[in-house]
Amino acid sequence: MRDMIKMVVVLTVLSSLSGGLLAAIKNSTEDRIEGQVLQFVQGPAILKIMEGASNDPISDRFTITAGDEQTNFFVGKYNGTPKVVAFETNAAGYGGPVGIMVAFDVETNKIKSIGVTTHNETPGVGSLVEKDENFKKQFVGLDVTFEPKVNKDGGSIIAMSGATVTSRAVTAAVRKAQVFYEQHQSEIKDKAKSFTG
Amino acid sequence: MAKTISQEFIKGLWTEIPPFRLVLGLCPALAVTKSVENGIGMGLATTFVLLCSNLLVSLLRNIIPPKIRIACFIIIIATFVTVVELMMQAYTYPLYQALGIFIPLIVVNCIVLGRAEAFAFKNPIFPSVADGLGIGVGFTLALGALGAVRELLGSGTLLGHAMFGPGFQPFAFMVEAPGAFVSLGLMLCFMNMLGKR
Amino acid sequence: MGDLLVLVISCIFINNILLAQYLGNCPFLGTSKKMETAIGMAGAVVFVLTMAGIITWLIDVYFLKRLDIEFLRTIAFILVIASLVQFVEMFLKKSIPALYAGLGIFLPLITTNCAVMGVCLINIQEEYSFLQAVVSSLAYAVGFGVALVLFTGIRERIILGRVPKPLQDTSIGLITAGFVALVFIGFQGLV
């Protein structure tokens, strides 16, 4: 009986100490972790597509809720006025989802730039999407109503050689972003304007 | 147990170096050694857990009832693994991303539980700490070496610096799964040739 | 339905737990010397992994996420798996002795089999629904079995050949596993 009590006491004390320690560490690192996620997951793509912005697009952000999903929007200011918004969408590629950050010009409703956030494509083939600027440039300037398609599907986007699936995924992700932007246009523009000044 | 503390430390570096001599902890050794940096990062995270769990298990060895020792070890190890997980998220996010689920999986790394059971539970604090540190450093060196071979051949870089001229065609096989198995197998063979335990 | 089929194929072949995700390699090399032990291990993994996948999914969604204590996931999962293994062992011993005789000695080894914990974490990370989690756990376990049995078949033959001394045992085993993994790379892009 004494053994039994000892076992229970030891296990309880150990578990509660562990729980307490972890809760304390969790609380003290929470904010830092959130910042790191934004900085390293979406950050590089955001900074690249908003080159020349006068603010820090990662800290100037707002969210829009559609259904159950919350989307983060990042605002880029040029000459003091919020001119560009960027947000992330994804579509299935060869090795899982390909995440694309798409930036829209809120004045002209045209795509300003796109960047890759996450992917798991074949090294040396689909993974080249990270660096292949010529491929990504093809999306720049497309109007929000224009549906891009890769050349194999009868469209104008020239797919990266040997990586049609990845190219299709990027195209599909951009299309998703266009549709979302069109549907929530007024809300996006209103919220972006609030960053004026 | 006539071994001195320094001997306990040194055995982890050569005669019992995991995963070559003690064939344990293969999964992280295969999975995260695409580059030197990841290999060493994983090694250090494991070392931290090993050191702390050995220390605590040894401290509590007279308090923990033998019947429930495995449960207690698991709680102790899991606690430190979570500490590492949170710390890495907060301070070295890119490394945390690269190592992925292999950080929480340190908890089922047989090396850690094995050392707690086979050594720390039976020995005083100083030898236990030396043992944990030795095995941990050995594991780190081994992963670093494996990472170096794979990174050099698979990406043509070492710690991110290009080692060969631009004409070098990376040997992509090495960074994929088969290369992991084959290079670990060859390194084991090399260690066998170098000497007996 | 079609989606689930794709998931099954991708879990068994494309993302094979042993050869593409690098999980569960200790038992992979440890129990692959004899066909009998390999089949026993494969059976035990299929059994425990499926159950663990289901239980940890329920715990994560209805307990950890509700209470907002997801940072305790690692501890919760390992404790669940460890006690599940104990429980399964006791249950089989009492009620299905025939099955226990077959799987018994492999059960304790499963607690530290990272394939089990790994799949539970993958189910959560990929945000699978309950049905998807069940299917993926089962499919990953089957993939483990398929790879283990295939590999054991090859390894049983290697013993017959003349292997240079330093390459013997684990070393040649790993190199062989590398070539089996190379074969499995061929499945990439199947779906």
Range of the domain at A133: 46-193
Asked which of A145-149, B13-17, B107-111, C169-173 is least confident by mean pLDDT, the reply is B13-17
Domain locations in chain B as residue ranges: 33-161+169-196
The structural domain count of chain A equals: 1
**In this complex, do C181 and B79 lie within 8 Å of one another by their Cβ atoms?**
no
Please give the model's pTM, rounded to 2 decimal places. Answer: 0.78
Window from A136-150, A172-186, C101-115, C164-178 with minimum mean pLDDT: C101-115
Question: Which residues of chain B lie closer than 8 angstroms to A14, CB-CB?
Answer: 72, 75-76
The pLDDT tens digits for A163-172 are: 888 899 999 9
Q: What is the pLDDT of residues B120-166, one digit of tens each?
A: 998 899 999 999 999 999 999 999 999 998 888 887 878 777 777 77
C118–B101: do the CB atoms touch at under 8 Å?
A: yes
Split at pLDDT 50, 70, 90, the class of C104 is low
How many CB atoms sit inside 10 A of residue C190's CB? Answer: 10
Highest mean pLDDT (candidates A45-49, B93-97, C57-61, C167-171): C57-61
pLDDT score at B41: 92
Model confidence over C143-161: pLDDT tens digits? 999 999 999 999 888 888 8
Structural domain harbouring C32: 2-189
Cβ contact, residue pair C189, A165, below 8 Å: yes
User: φ and ψ at A185, to 5 degrees?
Assistant: -45, -55
Residue-wise pLDDT tens digits, B11-49: 777 777 787 777 777 888 888 888 888 899 999 999 999
- Hey, CA dihedral for C80, C83, C84, C85, is it positive or negative? positive
The answer to whether the CB of C167 falls within 8 A of the CB of C153 is no
Average pLDDT over every residue of A9-13: 87
Residue C39 has pLDDT above 50, yes or no: yes
Q: Is the pLDDT of residue B73 over 50?
A: yes
pLDDT reading at B70 higher than 60: yes
Looking at residue B1, what is its pLDDT? 47
- pLDDT grade, residue B192 (50/70/90)? confident
Q: What is the pLDDT, as a whole number, of residue B197?
A: 47
Nearest to B68 among A11, A32, A123 (CB): A11
CB contact under 8 A, C188 and A95: yes
pLDDT reading at A3 higher than 70: yes
User: What integer pLDDT is reported at residue C136 of this predicted model?
Assistant: 92
> What is the C-alpha to C-alpha distance for residues C123 and C134, in angstroms, rounded to an integer?
9
Q: Which residues of B touch C165 (CB under 8 A)?
A: 192
Residue A176, domain member (yes or no): yes
Would the pLDDT of A181 be above 70? Answer: yes
pLDDT tens, position by position, A31-80: 888 778 877 877 777 888 888 778 888 778 888 887 777 788 888 888 87
CB C188 within 8 A of CB B176: no
Residue A150's nearest CA partner among A137, A134, A169 is A169
Q: Tokens for A34?
A: 């959130």
Using only C-alpha atoms, chain A has a radius of gyration, in whole angstroms, of: 22
Do residues A50 and A57 lie in contact, with contact meaning Cβ atoms separated by under 8 Å?
yes
Residue A6 falls inside a structural domain: no
pLDDT at C176 over 50: yes
| Mutation site for B-interface testing, chosen from C121, C170, C179 by largest number of B Cβ within 10 Å | C170
Q: Is C161 exposed, middle or buried (0-12, 13-18, 19+ CB in 10 A)?
A: exposed
Task: Give the whole-number percent of chain A exceeding pLDDT 90.
Answer: 7
Q: Name the percent of chain B lying above pLDDT 90.
A: 24
| Closest Cα in chain C, distance from residue A195 (Å) | 32
Nearest-Cα residue of chain C relative to residue A30: C71
Structural domain tally of chain C?
1
**Does position C105 have pLDDT exceeding 50, yes or no?**
yes
The closest alpha carbon to B118, from B14, B24, B10, B196, belongs to: B24
Instruction: Give chain B's contact residues with C (Cβ, < 8 Å).
Output: 23-27, 30-31, 70-71, 74-75, 78-79, 81-82, 85-86, 101, 104-105, 107-110, 113, 173, 176-182, 184-186, 188-190, 192-193
Amino acid identity of residue B48, one-letter, is: F
Chain A hits for B84, CB-CB cut-off 8 Å, are none
pLDDT at B196: 58
Instruction: Tell whether A160 is covered by a domain.
Output: yes
In a domain, A2, yes or no: no
In sequence order, the β-bridge partners of residue A111 are A104
pLDDT band at residue B51 under the 50/70/90 scheme? very high
Domain assignment present for residue A152? The answer is yes
- Quick check: A85 pLDDT over 80? yes
Provide the mean pLDDT of chain A: 84
Q: Is A38 among the domain residues? A: no
Residue B2 has pLDDT above 60, yes or no: no
